[in-house]
């Protein structure tokens, strides 16, 4: 293109615009990426404790087995920061019960998991949010059956 007299040269304008806009665009991109990861991990935590609560409510698994079930679920789905020490089991109806197998029918049970933010973040940025950990809990009612007592004697005629 021929330059006409009086039109200024604009070489390098696109490079300057990119240099000005790129940091903002990258910040927005990394921020959206991290927020998406937080939402994904929160959903996985909710599903893991819901499944752990279901195991606890059945009354066939011990507290340690319920905790391990939650940890295994999270590890299978890529959350390696969870350990059995991050998972808690509570009987909200009877605080003396520490094992789901000892709960009575319709006891309210709670399974909670907390995972540190540093174990699941994707970006190398120190921290975009003020979040240091994510927590999820699920409440279930014990579905233990009341034992049925059957009289085994046959009545005489």
**Residues 75-112: tens digit of each pLDDT:** 999 888 778 889 999 999 999 999 999 999 899 999 99
Is residue 154 domain-resident? no
Global confidence as pTM: 0.76
Q: Looking at the 3D structure of the chain, how many domains does it have?
A: 1
What pLDDT is stored for residue 43 in this prediction?
95
Is residue 101 domain-resident? yes
Residue 53 has pLDDT above 80, yes or no: yes
Percent of the chain at pLDDT exceeding 70: 89
Is residue 109 domain-resident? yes
Is residue 6 domain-resident? no
| Higher pLDDT pick, 128 / 20 | 20
The answer to whether the beta carbons of residues 51 and 76 sit under 8 Å apart is no
What pLDDT is stored for residue 7 in this prediction?
64
Supply the range of the domain harboring residue 95: 23-121+131-141
Is residue 151 domain-resident? no
CB atoms within 10 A of CB 127: 12
Is residue 8 domain-resident? no
Is residue 18 domain-resident? no
Is residue 114 domain-resident? yes
């Amino acid at each position: 293109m021929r330059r006409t007299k009086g039109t200024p040269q604009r070489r390098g304008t696109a490079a300057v615009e990119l240099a000005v806009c790129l940091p903002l665009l990258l910040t927005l991109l990394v921020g959206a990426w991290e927020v998406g990861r937080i939402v994904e991990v929160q959903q996985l935590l909710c599903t893991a404790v819901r499944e752990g609560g279901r195991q606890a409510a059945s009354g066939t698994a011990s507290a340690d087995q319920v905790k391990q079930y939650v940890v295994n679920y999270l590890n299978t789905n890529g959350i390696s920061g969870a350990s059995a020490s991050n998972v808690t089991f509570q009987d909200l109806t009877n605080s003396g019960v520490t094992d789901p197998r000892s709960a009575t029918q319709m006891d309210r049970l709670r399974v909670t998991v907390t995972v540190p933010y540093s174990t699941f973040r994707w970006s190398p940025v120190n921290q975009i949010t003020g979040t240091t950990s994510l927590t999820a809990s699920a409440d279930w009612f014990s579905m233990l059956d009341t034992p049925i007592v059957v009289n085994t004697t046959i009545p005489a005629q």
